[in-house]
A and B are shown apart, each in its own frame.
Chain A
Amino acid sequence: EVQLVESGGGLVKPGGSLRLLCAASGFTFNTYNMNWVRQAPGKGLEWVSSISSSSHYIYYADSVQGRFTISRDNAKNSLFLQMNSLRVEDTAVYYCARDDVGPDYWGQGTRVTVSS
């Protein structure tokens, strides 16, 4: 059974940092691209970043470019999102999702709140 479990969310002040983790199981992690997608309270889905299976290709939304860094550890079946210089508008539930010609399996999300 494919499982994606996010962790690392929490309350942080503007300008602060957080590192999110997505633990994957139930599939061959190192053969799939992975995504981070977020959803602000009461708002729609926003794609944040993608990383290819070998980390060779990495993409970011303009809204997080230069502040967020996606990475993965295929030996530990783990996906990461390092978030720096956080802003109030980064407040959201962050989901990781496996990408197979589109995000097919999703985690339940981890909540990030940026507030003073």
Chain B
Amino acid sequence: QTVVTQEPSLTVSPGGTVTLTCASSTGAVTSGFYPNWFQQKPGQAPRALIYSTSNNHPWTPARFSGSLLGDKAALTLSGVQPEDEAEYYCLLYYGGVQVFGGGTKLTVL
């Protein structure tokens, strides 16, 4: 059973910078896992932010960026806004199978 692990929760101050990570139980995360990142606010459907490690969707604010950091995928928010408070999920591809991380609850305080 493949497990994708994220920080359960993080707190950041408005205007600050925070990095969320995404690890795979199978080993290092590479671009071949096509890491994706999603934002979900209470009562809403998820919204796609990042695809294929570091590509922003047209609607993704520029303050969101994706990368590989060591052996993990990472999502960095720079200049955090109050509206960025949400749950964030990563998704990794294992061939045809996809696995979501457990999510990171980001608090902006």
Contacts and interface: CB of A to CB of B under 8 A. Distances in A.
Interface stretch (B13-21, B42-50, B74-82): B42-50
Contact of A106 (B36, B47, B51, B98): B47
A105 B57 CA distance: 10
Contacts of A101: 34, 36, 51-52, 55
Contact of B1 (A35, A57, A62): A62
B91 interface: yes
B102 A104 contact: no
Contacts of A59: 96-98
B38 interface: yes
B1 A103 contact: no
Contacts of B38: 45, 103
A61 B102 CA distance: 16
A103 B34 contact: no
Contact of B52 (A50, A95, A102): A102
Most buried by A among B45, B51, B97: B45
A47 B99 contact: yes
A102 B35 CA distance: 8
Nearest to A6: B45
B64 interface: no
Interface residues of B, number: 24
B103 A45 contact: yes
B45 A103 contact: no
A104 B48 contact: yes
B25 to A, nearest CB: 14
Contacts of A89: none
Contacts of B103: 44-45
Interface in B84-104: 87, 89, 91, 96-103
Contact of A108 (B45, B48, B51, B99): B45
A46 interface: yes
Interface string A79-116: 00000000000000001000011111111110000000
Contacts of B100: 37, 44-47
Given A45-B89, A57-B96, A102-B52, 12 more contacts: A44-B102, A45-B40, A45-B100, A46-B100, A47-B98, A50-B98, A101-B34, A101-B36, A101-B55, A103-B36, A103-B46, A107-B45
